[in-house]
């Protein structure tokens, strides 16, 4: 089947992955992320339209190569959505998160202990890893935010603040391209942010 993703999204992923490789090299033994380590897979988080498209592309690819595993992913997504939809701070028909202050505040406490439906609970691995959201790709190394440099709580033990700063994940180029591509999707009439469960539950969120 033809790709649903804008070609520029592939460039975005390449930029992010290259920046991550560089940050991992600088982090050395302080960065302990490895297959089977799943704390970052617990708790619902927002994804943009590019992430939703990428996940849907990944699930379609998995359905072609391993339909049983893909069916389990979709089933976990549907079951999660059924558990949390009643308190979803947005439009449950479209899966789009609200964009006002009240919705943002509600999302802070929303489904924080739910595992991602893409996570295989037996293997401790992501079933759509190659198509994972940008947030997942950049988790671990120090990432700059309004609150300063954020790192995985399991990593960088024993590192000083200055040493942590030297390992910062450089995302300026990626952030600029991501904002551009999301803006193009929004101008084309696509909705706002959603969550992984809705994107993988067989409920299309975006279109090209």
Contact assessment for residue 44 and residue 84, using Cβ atoms and an 8 Å cutoff: yes
- Name the domain count of the chain: 1
pLDDT tens by residue, 70-102: 999 999 999 999 999 999 999 999 999 999 999
Q: Is residue 11 part of a domain?
A: yes
pLDDT tens by residue, 149-183: 888 889 999 999 999 999 999 999 999 999 999 99
Contact assessment for residue 88 and residue 96, using Cβ atoms and an 8 Å cutoff: no
Half-sphere exposure of 167 (CA within 13 A, CB side): 25
Give the containing element (helix H, strand E) for 96.
strand 96-97
Residue with tokens 């995985």: 152
22 token code pair: 């560089």
Q: Is residue 163 part of a domain?
A: yes
Q: Is residue 207 part of a domain?
A: no
Q: Is residue 34 part of a domain?
A: yes
> Is 0.85 surpassed by the pTM of this model?
yes
**Domain containing 35: what range?**
7-200
Half-sphere exposure of 63 (CA within 13 A, CB side): 13
Q: Is residue 46 part of a domain?
A: yes
């Amino acid at each position: 089947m033809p790709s649903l993703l804008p070609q520029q999204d592939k460039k975005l992923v390449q930029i992010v992955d290259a920046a991550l490789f560089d940050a991992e090299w600088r982090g050395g033994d302080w960065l302990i992320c490895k297959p089977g380590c799943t704390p970052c897979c617990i708790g619902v988080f927002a994804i943009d339209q590019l992430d939703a498209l990428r996940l849907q592309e990944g699930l379609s690819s998995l359905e072609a190569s391993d339909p049983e595993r893909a069916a389990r992913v979709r089933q976990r997504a549907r079951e999660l959505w059924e558990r949390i939809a009643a308190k979803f701070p947005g439009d449950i028909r479209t899966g789009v998160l609200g964009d006002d202050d009240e919705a943002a505040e509600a999302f802070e406490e929303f489904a924080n202990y739910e595992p991602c439906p893409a996570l295989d609970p037996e293997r401790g691995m992501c079933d759509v890893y190659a198509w994972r959201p940008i947030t997942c790709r950049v988790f671990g190394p120090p990432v700059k935010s309004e609150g300063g440099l954020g790192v995985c709580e399991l990593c960088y033990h024993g590192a000083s603040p200055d040493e942590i700063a030297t390992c910062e994940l450089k995302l300026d180029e990626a952030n600029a391209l991501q904002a551009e591509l999301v803006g193009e999707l929004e101008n084309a009439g696509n909705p706002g942010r959603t969550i992984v469960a809705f994107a993988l539950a067989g409920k299309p969120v975006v279109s090209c």
